[in-house]
Amino acid sequence: MTVRLTLLCAAAPVEHDVRFGADTPLDERALRAVRAVTAALPTAACYTGPSQRCRQTAQALGWDDAGVEPALRDVDMGRWHGRTLSEVAASDGAGLAAWMSDPEAAPHGGESVGQVCHRIAAWLDALPADTGRTAAVVEQAIARAAVVHALGAPQRSFWRIDVPPLSAFQLTGREGRWNLRMGTVSTAQAYGGA
């Protein structure tokens, strides 16, 4: 049997300072955006990453029975947790450059990109063959890691994958062989864009 896993990137508050590892609650505009895409998503067994943002997105989708999956947690940002990109660039520019160019680097004392990619690859490949249709709300980094694994892409391509809030895609496969199927969920109007 083929696993059909839809990954949906969690919604994000529309206006806030992006901080590494910060779990900012969703604002009303973000929740409206989630509700706007609900009909476009498949009905399936559901998982969510443990962050507040993932859980709120799942709840706004009506996925009240979504199981919290610890393997889908965001990147451990170590000493950089709660700091903005500009703060880290100012205080540890060399470390930031290393982290974004070397998948094995973890200058912040947390997880490297390579470690995140391995964690998500292990979770995907451990899904039972009879899983069937499944959906999960995940953080951007987790979505990137899943795409890297599905395509067999080098881990350095992690940063080349743009994953906007509420973007969705499907992975189909089993036992370590995955295909990427792009979704059709439109979020521009949901967030009030053009």
Distance, CA of 57 to CA of 167 (rounded, Å): 12
13 in Cβ contact with 100 (< 8 Å): no
In SS3 terms, 156-183 reads as: HHHHHCCCCCCCEEEEEEECCEEEEEEC
The alpha-carbon radius of gyration of the chain (Å, integer) is 16
**194 has a pLDDT exceeding 60:** no
Output the pTM of the full model: 0.83
111 in Cβ contact with 76 (< 8 Å): yes
Examine residue 145 and state whether it is found in any structural domain, yes or no: yes
Domains of the chain: total: 1
Distance, CA of 147 to CA of 76 (rounded, Å): 19
Residue 124: which CATH number?
3.40.50.1240
Examine residue 50 and state whether it is found in any structural domain, yes or no: yes
Examine residue 191 and state whether it is found in any structural domain, yes or no: no
**174 has a pLDDT exceeding 60:** yes
Q: What is the mean pLDDT of the chain?
A: 85
Examine residue 85 and state whether it is found in any structural domain, yes or no: no
Report pLDDT digits (tens) over 52-99.
Answer: 999 999 998 888 889 999 999 999 999 999 898 899 999 999 999 999
Q: Report which of residues 88 and 19 the model is more confident about.
A: 88
**116 has a pLDDT exceeding 90:** yes
Q: Report which of residues 36 and 150 the model is more confident about.
A: 150
Burial pattern 47-69, b for ≥16 Cβ within 10 A else e, equals: bbbebebbbbbbbbbebeebeeb
**Amino acid 192: pLDDT:** 39
**Amino acid 40: pLDDT:** 60
Examine residue 92 and state whether it is found in any structural domain, yes or no: no
Examine residue 66 and state whether it is found in any structural domain, yes or no: yes
**Amino acid 188: pLDDT:** 39
Enclosing H/E stretch for 67: strand 67-68
Give the range of the structural domain holding residue 173, as residue numbers without chain letter.
3-75+112-182
Examine residue 22 and state whether it is found in any structural domain, yes or no: yes
The answer to which of 58-62, 71-75, 160-164, 172-176 has the lowest mean pLDDT is 172-176
Examine residue 30 and state whether it is found in any structural domain, yes or no: yes
